[in-house]
Amino acid sequence: MVALNSYITLSWLVPAFPLLGFLITGMAKNRLKNNQAGIIASILVSLSFLMSAFLFFALRSSGQESATVTLFNWIAAGDLKIPFAFLIDNLSVTMMLIVTGVGALIHIYSIGYMHGDDRVNSFFAQMNLFTFSMLLLVMGANYLILFIGWEGVGFCSYLLIGFWFKNPAFNYAARKAFVMNRIGDLGFILGIILLFFTFKSVGFTEVFSQATSMHSGTPLVTLITILLLVGAVGKSAQIPLYTWLPDAMAGPTPVSALIHAATMVTAGIYMIARSSILYNLAPLTMNIMIILGLATAIFAAVIGLRQNDIKKVLAYSTVSQLGYMFLALGLGAYSSAVFHLTTHAFFKALLFLGAGSIIHAMGGEQDIRKMGGLRKKMPVTYFTFLAATLAISGIPPFSGFFSKDLILSKAFENNPLLYILALGGALITCFYMFRLLYLVFFGSQRLSTVHPHESPRVMTFPLIILSILSVFGGFLNIPSLFGGDSRFGEFLNKSIISGITEELGSATEIGLIVSSLILLGLVILYAYRIYVKKADIPVADGVSTNIFSKAIENKFYVDEIYSAVIEKPFGSLSDFFFNKVENKVLDPAVDEVGILTSKLGNLVRKLQQGNMSFYLFAMVAGILLFIIFILIV
């Protein structure tokens, strides 16, 4: 670091603010009244955002690519030296901005949403802790600091999913999320360990500088990348570890927006993008990622078609979108993935917050079949939601269009088949999003017991900001096709080594865009016909007609399969170990030694009959035996 910008050394303030918030709201949770906790938390996260923005500009103005800020030595054992350090570069600054920005908005939103909950202070404490962890994750200068954040967000997610802890199902969901994450984490930590053994360091800069000189396809690197991928799969809810995410909707809606849409679940994408150099060396892993990402994208989208819980739909949509990001990663288009991550953060947060607003208005009702006609009653929510829906569906010029199109075109470059499948997924996404939109906002209200009303300002304000971002976020990275300069991508590419170099011809690209747009339009129309024209459809929607749709409705029975294949056998194994091995073999084996000895003892005691003649005989017999013994020996 030639000219370390003195401002950058202040970067520790970024996570410090939320940590402070956590400590304040956590310690004083019994003293804080009304919205005090929310306000404190929001202000601190906002400060963190401001600090991030400040860092962003400081970094740009300094002209440096990256800066490392070492706070103290965390672990040093022999040649293992892990400083507690932050790496400030374009990628991390971007992530920081997303995390703190979206985070601040959601905090503000939560003030309204959580108003009246008796554990609101705990809520904000946990949210702040989450923000802190997430910032550690994105700012960490080595894999282990990243891992701290990685586990930390998992833990906060556990807390927040189970926030309403009176409901056992919620607790179960929380635990499931944590455990599934942990499965991934094990892979991750093993990956980190192998990384260390390979590169003698876990610092990003050290590892990557050495990795540049390595050959592609080195088995060790492939193994490392696969292990890291396992971690990412767990955290970013890809097949086969995705099932926790839909269940995680048990948490309060702002939590879903912040953790399970905008930030935490994208940690996997961030981590892989961060490790782009390594992944470039491992084509096998890349291919695995393509397959996983695409499969997840389509699979989740299909499940999303038949979900009736508003948050579940959004959850599957999140899984699906994460699948796209993985696809992009697998294609080597890391910056595209991060770009999609960014736009997704905007519009998915918006969708969730909108959903929260709706649920809030509906008095806690989450079944979309019971909603309807909210367009008039909640105009702000409607318009923001619409914007987000358009964005996620990929309608130009909304942000989702740019980011998704980038991925699709990259897929086409790789293999047209990939493109077709990805496009199919996008169409399905479009369909279920519009189904959601239509069912919720159009038609007439189907549930008469509640009287929906627009949410308070404190909730609509973040919606508006986010909708602006969702609409215009795409302009950050206008591709050259539209006369842009892909600034976002370029910006990131200072931190990420892209895996692909070739560009599509603009003609092909235009063709692709046009055809996809036509298809999208058709899908929207079709959805309109089904869900708006026919008012009775929603009722029929709940009745499964054939095996396939029934399977979709039941999420392809994945949970059931997992339960049958993993959970139950595990339980049986536990019972077997305890009831059979421990209690029937090991423990008795020890006891049996005692019992056997004691039985033998009784036998010996029986010899002592008290009968004189027996004693005499025994003595003579003993003597005789000894005589014979010495005569023979």
Partner 1 sequence: MILLIILLIPIITGLFLLVLRDPATVRIIALTSAIVNLLITLGLIISVPSASYSVNWDNFMGTQFSLGFDGISLIMLLLTNLLFPFIILSGFTRSHVQIPVLNFLILFTQSALIGVFLAQNAFLFYIFWELTLIPVYFILLLWGGENRRAITLKFFIYTLTGSLFLLFGIIFLFQLTPGLHTTDFSAFNQLHIAAHTQTWLFWVLFIAFAIKMPVFPFHTWQPSTYTMASKQGVMILAGVLTKMGIYGALRFLFPIVPQGVIYWQNTVIIMCLIGVVYASVIAFRQTNIKKLIAFSSMAHISLMAAAMFTLNYYSTQGLLFQVISHGVTIVALFYMVHLIQERTSTLELPHMGGLKLAAPNMAILLLIIVLGSIALPLTSGFVGEFLIIMGLAKLSIWFAVFGGTTMILGAVYMLYAYQRIMLGDKNPALAKVKDIRTLDYFILIPLIAIIIILGIFPQPILNLVEVSVNSMQKLLIPANEVVTLFVR
Partner 2 sequence: MKEISSAIQLIPLENYIVLSIALFSIGMMGVLFRRNTIAILMCLELMFNSVNLLLTAFSAYHSDPSGQVFVFFIMIVAAAEIAVGLSIVVMMKRNVDSVDINLLNRLKW
Partner 3 sequence: MSALILLTVFGIIVLYLGFANNKALLAPVAITGLVISMILSLKDWGLGSKYFHDMMIIDNFSIAFNVSMLIITILIFLFGINYYRRMEHHVAEQYALMIFALTGAFLMTSFSNLIMLFLGIEILSIPLYILAGGKKTSYRSNEASFKYFLLGSFATAFFLFGIALVYGASATFYLPEIKTYIAQFNGHLPPMVMLGLLFILIGVAFKVAVAPFHFWSPDVYEGSPTLVTAFMATVVKTAGFAAFYRLLGMGLLPLPAPLEKTLWVMTGLSLLVGNLAALNQSNFKRLLAYSAIVHTGFMMLAMLSQHDSSASVLLYYTFVYSLATVPLFIIFIHMKRASKGLEELSIFRGLYKQKPWMAVFMTILLMSLAGIPPTAGFLAKYRVFILSISRGYLAISIFAIVMAIIGIYYYFYVLREAFSESDNPNPIEISKLNAVLIVVCGVAVLLLGIFVFQIPI
Tell me which residues touch partner 3 (CB under 8 A).
594, 597-598, 600-605, 607-608, 610, 612, 614-616, 618-619, 621-623, 626-627, 629-631, 633
- The nearer residue to partner 3, 420 or 623, going by C-beta atoms, is 623
Residues facing residue 75 across a β-bridge: 82
Nearest approach in angstroms of CB 238 to partner 1 is 18
- 332 phi-psi bin (left φ>0, alpha ψ -120 to 50, beta other): left
**Partner in contact with 631, chosen from partner 2, partner 1, partner 3, none, beta carbon below 5 to 8 Å by kind:** partner 3
Best CA proximity match to 107, nearest among 262, 250, 239: 262
Pairing label, strands 80-89, 66-77: antiparallel
- The nearer residue to partner 3, 169 or 627, going by C-beta atoms, is 627
- The nearer residue to partner 1, 157 or 399, going by C-beta atoms, is 157
State yes or no: residue 103 binds partner 1 (CB under 8 A): no
Nearest approach in angstroms of CB 604 to partner 2 is 10
Q: What is the CA radius of gyration of the chain?
A: 30
- The nearer residue to partner 1, 193 or 500, going by C-beta atoms, is 193
- The nearer residue to partner 3, 565 or 600, going by C-beta atoms, is 600
State yes or no: residue 503 binds partner 1 (CB under 8 A): no
Helix (H, G, I), strand (E, B) or coil at 54: helix
State yes or no: residue 81 binds partner 1 (CB under 8 A): no
Each residue of 598-607: b (16+ CB within 10 Å) or e?
eeeeeeeeee
Q: Where are the alpha helices (DSSP H) in 162-282?
A: 168-199, 204-211, 219-235, 244-247, 253-257, 267-274, 276-280
- The nearer residue to partner 3, 3 or 633, going by C-beta atoms, is 633
- The nearer residue to partner 2, 30 or 613, going by C-beta atoms, is 613
Residue span binding partner 1 (CB under 8 A) among the ranges 71-79, 269-277, 329-337, 456-464: 71-79
Nearest approach in angstroms of CB 125 to partner 1 is 10
Helix (H, G, I), strand (E, B) or coil at 81: strand
Q: Of how many residues is the chain composed?
A: 633
- The nearer residue to partner 2, 287 or 611, going by C-beta atoms, is 611
For residue 467, CA distances in Å to 42, 387, 431, 579 come to: 19, 6, 20, 58
Q: What's the distance, Cα to Cα, between the start and end of the chain in Å?
A: 89
Q: By CB neighbour count within 10 A (0-12 exposed, 13-18 middle, 19+ buried), where does 291 fall?
A: middle
Report residue 295 as tokens.
């499969």
Nearest approach in angstroms of CB 618 to partner 1 is 31
Q: By CB neighbour count within 10 A (0-12 exposed, 13-18 middle, 19+ buried), where does 533 fall?
A: exposed
Residue span binding partner 1 (CB under 8 A) among the ranges 169-177, 236-244, 374-382, 471-479: 169-177
**Partner in contact with 166, chosen from partner 2, partner 1, partner 3, none, beta carbon below 5 to 8 Å by kind:** partner 1
Nearest approach in angstroms of CB 518 to partner 1 is 48
**Partner in contact with 622, chosen from partner 3, partner 2, partner 1, none, beta carbon below 5 to 8 Å by kind:** partner 3
CA atoms within 13 A on the CB side of 317: 37
Nearest approach in angstroms of CB 171 to partner 1 is 5
- The nearer residue to partner 3, 521 or 622, going by C-beta atoms, is 622
Tokens 């009244």 locate to: 33
The 8-class DSSP code of residue 566 comes to I
**Partner in contact with 618, chosen from partner 1, partner 2, partner 3, none, beta carbon below 5 to 8 Å by kind:** partner 3
Nearest approach in angstroms of CB 619 to partner 2 is 10
**Measured distance CA(557)–CA(542) in Å, rounded:** 17
State yes or no: residue 23 binds partner 1 (CB under 8 A): no
Contact residues toward partner 2 (CB under 8 A) are 605-606, 608-613, 616-617, 620
Sorted by sequence, the CB contacts under 8 Å of residue 78 that are 6+ apart come out as none
DSSP letters, 12-31, are GHHHHHHHHHHHHHHHTTTT
**Measured distance CA(344)–CA(371) in Å, rounded:** 25
**Type of residue found at 377:** K
Nearest approach in angstroms of CB 194 to partner 1 is 7
- The nearer residue to partner 1, 137 or 355, going by C-beta atoms, is 137
- Cis check: omega of the bond before 252, within 30 degrees of 0: no
Rounding to the nearest 10 degrees, give the CA dihedral for residues 344, 310, 258, 563. Answer: -100
Nearest approach in angstroms of CB 213 to partner 3 is 59
Helix (H, G, I), strand (E, B) or coil at 109: helix
Residues 174-193 that bind partner 1 (CB under 8 A): 175, 178-179, 182-183, 185-186, 189-190, 193
**Partner in contact with 73, chosen from partner 3, partner 1, partner 2, none, beta carbon below 5 to 8 Å by kind:** partner 1
**Measured distance CA(16)–CA(24) in Å, rounded:** 12
State yes or no: residue 115 binds partner 1 (CB under 8 A): no
**Measured distance CA(313)–CA(121) in Å, rounded:** 29
Nearest approach in angstroms of CB 572 to partner 1 is 9
Task: Pick from 8, 144, 469, 492 the residue near partner 1 by CB under 8 A.
Answer: 144
State yes or no: residue 138 binds partner 1 (CB under 8 A): no
- The nearer residue to partner 3, 450 or 618, going by C-beta atoms, is 618
Report residue 223 as tokens.
């193994």
State yes or no: residue 575 binds partner 1 (CB under 8 A): yes
Residue span binding partner 1 (CB under 8 A) among the ranges 164-172, 363-371, 376-384, 611-619: 164-172
288: how many CB neighbours lie within 10 A of its CB? Answer: 18
- The nearer residue to partner 2, 571 or 622, going by C-beta atoms, is 622
Query: Residues 522-561: x/- map of binding to partner 1 (CB under 8 A)?
Result: ----------------------------------------
How many degrees, rounded to 5, is the angle at CA 620 between CA 614 and CA 621? 85
Rounding to the nearest 10 degrees, give the CA dihedral for residues 229, 230, 235, 238. Answer: 90
State yes or no: residue 590 binds partner 1 (CB under 8 A): yes
CB 432 within 8 A of CB 301: yes
CB 319 within 8 A of CB 300: yes
Task: Pick from 78, 116, 364, 610 the residue near partner 1 by CB under 8 A.
Answer: 78
- The nearer residue to partner 2, 448 or 602, going by C-beta atoms, is 602
- The nearer residue to partner 1, 70 or 611, going by C-beta atoms, is 70
Dihedrals phi, psi of 72, to nearest 5 degrees = -160, 170
Report residue 390 as tokens.
């358009």
Catalog residues that contact partner 1 under the rule CB under 8 A. 72-78, 80, 144, 147-148, 151-152, 155, 158, 162, 165-168, 171-172, 175, 178-179, 182-183, 185-186, 189-190, 193-194, 196-197, 223, 570-571, 573-575, 577-578, 581-582, 586-587, 589-591, 594
